[in-house]
Chains A and B, each alone.
Chain A
């Protein structure tokens, strides 16, 4: 299954913009992975679903330490001081990436609407998709750490 280059470009661009302007830590894109069997490592997953012209979700994946670094950078606090603030911050990162992605796509095609973000923190869990999906996993380097942005699209655009 394949995600088009045009759609992928909007996702990569949205992610870079959010990290540069709101996280204050630029990221550099790595080669996207379209192998459905590859699962991103990490203990923190934030997802934002969307529906309308397209249906699917955008997911953020990182380690707990990286999520705290991101939250600290957003809030202007040291990562060590971050605890309860992290889920809200990571949810907002996913929300902004999905929102910006949706806005960029809406300039090219009919719009979709995004849902509220959901954040899962833990270990030893995996995600299974219950239908045939188009999926791409986009790794980004942020300083010495990797984050992953995953795009799931289901069905054809309406």
Chain B
């Protein structure tokens, strides 16, 4: 299974990729914001996107809307990983089109459960 991890924090990208590797997912691509991530999707096919919310240039919400608005990517499973955990935040992300939502800090077990749930929901 192939992932695209999008976060402006290189530390958080590394933590997520290390977590995915430990879970047995070896093919992970990365991008530093939504714009970079959307451009990467045009050339790098993946099976799931994991994205942050607050990023420069193109936020996670804008990125998700761009994915859902593109015929080639509109059904791609998307997991959002963020510190934005208020009920209103989750509703906004779900409306934008995320399949599931992880609040930082998280454990590897949580990531595993949410990936499976996002795949089932897609």
Instruction: Give the B-binding residues of A (Cβ under 8 A).
Output: 17-18, 20-22, 71, 74-76, 85, 88-89, 91-92, 95-96, 98-100, 102-103, 106, 111, 114, 116
Lowest 7 A-B CB distances belong to which pairs?
A99-B83, A103-B85, A89-B11, A21-B105, A22-B105, A92-B11, A111-B86
Instruction: Give the A-binding residues of B (Cβ under 8 A).
Output: 9-12, 14-15, 18, 54, 82-86, 88, 103-107
The chain B residue with its CB closest to the CB of A98 is B83
In the bound complex, what is the Cα–Cα distance between A114 and B83 (angstroms)? 9
- Contact A75 B105, beta carbon cutoff 8 Å: no
Chain B's nearest CB lies how many Å from the CB of A39?
Answer: 27
The chain B residue with its CB closest to the CB of A112 is B86
The chain B residue with its CB closest to the CB of A100 is B105
- Contact A99 B84, beta carbon cutoff 8 Å: yes
- Contact B105 A95, beta carbon cutoff 8 Å: no
The chain A residue with its CB closest to the CB of B9 is A92
The chain B residue with its CB closest to the CB of A22 is B105
- Contact A103 B11, beta carbon cutoff 8 Å: no
Known: A75-B15, A88-B10, A99-B82. 14 other contacts (CB 8 A): A17-B105, A21-B106, A71-B11, A76-B18, A85-B11, A92-B11, A92-B12, A95-B83, A100-B103, A100-B104, A100-B105, A106-B85, A111-B88, A116-B54
